[in-house]
Amino acid sequence: MGLLIGESSGRRSGYRRPWLRWLGWVILGLLFAGFARQCTSLYLNNSSLQPVGPLKGPLSGLPRVTETCRPHTHLMFLKTHKTASSTVLNILYRFGEEHGLRFALPMGYMLGYPFAFNVHRIKGYRGNRAAKYDIMANHLRFNKDEVQKVLHKDTFYFSILREPLSLAKSSFAYFHDICPTFRKAGSLGAFADSPGSFHKAHLRNSHYARNLLWFDFGMDPNANVTQEQVREGLVTIRKNFKLILLSEYFDQSMVLLRHALCWPLDAVVSFTLNKAHYRPPQGGAEDGFDLRQPVVNVSLTPAQREKLREWNALDWHLYQAFNRSFWEDVRHFGPERMDQEVALLRARRDQLAGVCLPKAGEPVEAHHIGNKDIRPYQCGSVRILGYELQQGLDNATTEACLRLIRPEIQYKDLLDAKQFPRSQPYIGDPAGKLDVNGLSQSVLKLPFTADGNPESPVSKYTQGQKDA
Ligand SMILES: *[C@@H]1O[C@H](CO)[C@@H](O)[C@H](O)[C@H]1NC(C)=O
Ligand SMILES: *[C@@H]1O[C@H](CO)[C@@H](O)[C@H](O)[C@H]1NC(C)=O
Ligand SMILES: *[C@@H]1O[C@H](CO)[C@@H](O)[C@H](O)[C@H]1NC(C)=O
Ligand SMILES: *[C@@H]1O[C@H](CO)[C@@H](O)[C@H](O)[C@H]1NC(C)=O
Ligand SMILES: *[C@@H]1O[C@H](CO)[C@@H](O)[C@H](O)[C@H]1NC(C)=O
Ligand SMILES: *[C@@H]1O[C@H](CO)[C@@H](O)[C@H](O)[C@H]1NC(C)=O
């Protein structure tokens, strides 16, 4: 079943008066003229506490290498699910692309997930003695022994967590159609009432229903919750990962990250990618999208919240522990300094949004995005929002802006084409994907049909799981 979102655009245009639109164009034109004078292209600066000045010059280089701070270029990001990790991935893709770093790319879009990572899932892998990879960041289930085989010794490992209840909601809405546990339960409330009665841990994709973070870190999500078990898990994670970020405090996380990596501010400025837009439960008139699609009910009573928290107790402990560490890190960093840097980061984000994005920078629904190269992939009963690109920018600015808004599927394709110039017949041509003959299409490999409409994600997704 497709999302049938194409139909709403017609309804949408009805409420705009022609003179209003005309006025809009005039204002846009004036705004654009202002920008055009100010900035021929984006200048992404190195320093942290500079006031945000006018934009000029090319995209950032590495910050100066100093004795105390040398930019990290060897990175392992454990991309957890439903945690804003796509936005972090964008940051890594951009940085890697700008600096010509070598990615451990998957053959499809995930490195063997949900199976424990194995080096043979890396596209073009040529054995342990071949050159190491600089960045590994696509979805995988963590497996230290295999991961470290292909990464440099000084690789910086980090990841991101999200509060488990909101993660459960997001996971339920996003994976409802492919996770047998969720599908059987129907609503998140029903699931929370007696999760055990719906959960068959051995079924494919059931892992999305319980302790998903714990699972992604390579540990057993159905383990009995004992102090010993929790402690052991936390110790292992602390041993393997240098930094654990939190989606709830994304901007603070980016500040910590940039200092840990010795990266310029602009390297960690981003727009939220893969953001979900939930359908309203009653399917009201809200901007006129199709109402025939069944709505996934994720509302919970306080009692159900408590039960769900218990069901995800391993993740709960994980989050609690790293939430504490996170704020210790912030104290160590200096709360005032943190506030300053967060303000700077936000100002810079607003500034870049003003340059790159039309319409005040609000993310829009996929079907409003004309350019397929930047239209986000859709999955499940939530709609994933994306960004339109401002028209009329010069080439360098266009390129810089595209990097910021390019969805992860298309970005992976682009990097893939760069790293494997001969194996990839096209760049940014979703229709062309249909002609990739014989390639076993891994998960999300065919996000759009030839006419550009998102097609049913479910069959592709489950098929990908099989391939993985
Ligand atoms: C940033 O670059 C300027 C020159 O563009 C330089 O003077 C300054 O030292 C740099 N700052 C850092 C933190 O590297
Ligand atoms: C970049 O940093 C330099 C000094 O390090 C400063 O003079 C300049 O104004 C800054 N530019 C921007 C765009 O912040
Ligand atoms: C959604 O689920 C909650 C909790 O299970 C329930 O109380 C509510 O009636 C449901 N809402 C709809 C619209 O089905
Ligand atoms: C959890 O504990 C129960 C009872 O103590 C035991 O039967 C079960 O095997 C344990 N499960 C795991 C995964 O250790
Ligand atoms: C995380 O820690 C902060 C600071 O101690 C606290 O305010 C917040 O409630 C914690 N979040 C959760 C979900 O426990
Ligand atoms: C911008 O890019 C287009 C095509 O990608 C090219 O034809 C044009 O010459 C470029 N302009 C500049 C100023 O580089």
Pocket test of ligand 3: the residue of 299, 301, 381 to mutate, having most ligand atoms within 8 Å of its CB, is 299
Cα 92 to middle of ligand 3, angstroms: 40
Query: Could you say which ligand is closest to the alpha carbon of residue 326?
Result: 5
Q: Could you tell me the CA-to-CA distances from 407 to 24, 93, 219, 250, 254 in Å, in that order?
A: 28, 11, 29, 19, 19
Our answer on whether the CB atom of 264 is closer than 6 Å to any ligand 1 atom is: no
Residue positions counted in the chain: 468
Measured CA to CA, the distance from residue 221 to residue 212 in angstroms comes to: 7
Query: Could you say which ligand is closest to the alpha carbon of residue 402?
Result: 6
Pocket test of ligand 2: the residue of 38, 45, 59, 355 to mutate, having most ligand atoms within 8 Å of its CB, is 45
Measured CA to CA, the distance from residue 247 to residue 253 in angstroms comes to: 8
Contact between 374 and 444 under an 8 Å Cβ cutoff? The reply is no
Q: Could you tell me the CA-to-CA distances from 235 to 203, 232, 239 in Å, in that order?
A: 29, 5, 6
Residue 378 reports pLDDT greater than 80: no
Measured CA to CA, the distance from residue 371 to residue 389 in angstroms comes to: 9
Residue with CA nearest ligand 1 atom 11:
47
Which residue in the block uniquely carries the two structure tokens 């760069």? Answer: 418
| pLDDT mean across residues, the chain | 77
pLDDT at position 288 is 36
The HSE-up count of residue 424 (CA atoms within 13 Å, CB side) is 21
Burial of 123 (0-12, 13-18, 19+ CB in 10 A): middle
Cα 146 to middle of ligand 4, angstroms: 28
Q: In the chain, pLDDT over 70 holds for what percent of residues?
A: 70
Cα 242 to middle of ligand 1, angstroms: 27
- Across 16-30, 177-191, 209-223, 389-403, the highest mean pLDDT is recorded for 209-223
Pocket test of ligand 5: the residue of 167, 309, 323 to mutate, having most ligand atoms within 8 Å of its CB, is 323
Residue 167 reports pLDDT greater than 50: yes
Which pLDDT band holds residue 263 (cuts at 50, 70, 90)? very high
Residue-wise pLDDT for 315-367, tens only, equals 999 999 999 999 999 999 999 999 999 999 999 998 888 888 887 677 877 77
Query: Could you say which ligand is closest to the alpha carbon of residue 193?
Result: 3
Q: Could you tell me the CA-to-CA distances from 232 to 141, 219, 225, 229, 402 in Å, in that order?
A: 18, 10, 11, 5, 43
Which residues face 139 on adjacent strands?
A: 110
Task: Give me 275's structure tokens.
Answer: 């953001």
pLDDT at position 65 is 46
Average pLDDT over residues 186-200: 95
Our answer on whether the CB atom of 225 is closer than 6 Å to any ligand 4 atom is: no
Residue 114 reports pLDDT greater than 80: yes
* Strands annotated E in 247-334: 275-277
Residue 51 reports pLDDT greater than 50: no
Q: Could you tell me the CA-to-CA distances from 123 to 25, 27, 329, 428 in Å, in that order?
A: 46, 48, 36, 19
Ligand 4: atom nearest CA of 220 is 13
The HSE-up count of residue 388 (CA atoms within 13 Å, CB side) is 15
Which pLDDT band holds residue 200 (cuts at 50, 70, 90)? very high
Residue 37 reports pLDDT greater than 60: no
Cα 222 to middle of ligand 4, angstroms: 9
Query: Could you say which ligand is closest to the alpha carbon of residue 221?
Result: 4
Our answer on whether the CB atom of 226 is closer than 6 Å to any ligand 4 atom is: no
pLDDT at position 248 is 97
**Quick one: angle between helices 395-405 and 85-98, nearest 10?**
140
Query: Could you say which ligand is closest to the alpha carbon of residue 188?
Result: 3
pLDDT at position 4 is 30
Our answer on whether the CB atom of 323 is closer than 6 Å to any ligand 5 atom is: yes
Q: Which CATH class for the 75-353 domain? A: alpha beta
Residue-wise pLDDT for 62-86, tens only, equals 444 444 688 999 999 999 999 999 9
Residue with CA nearest ligand 2 atom 1:
45
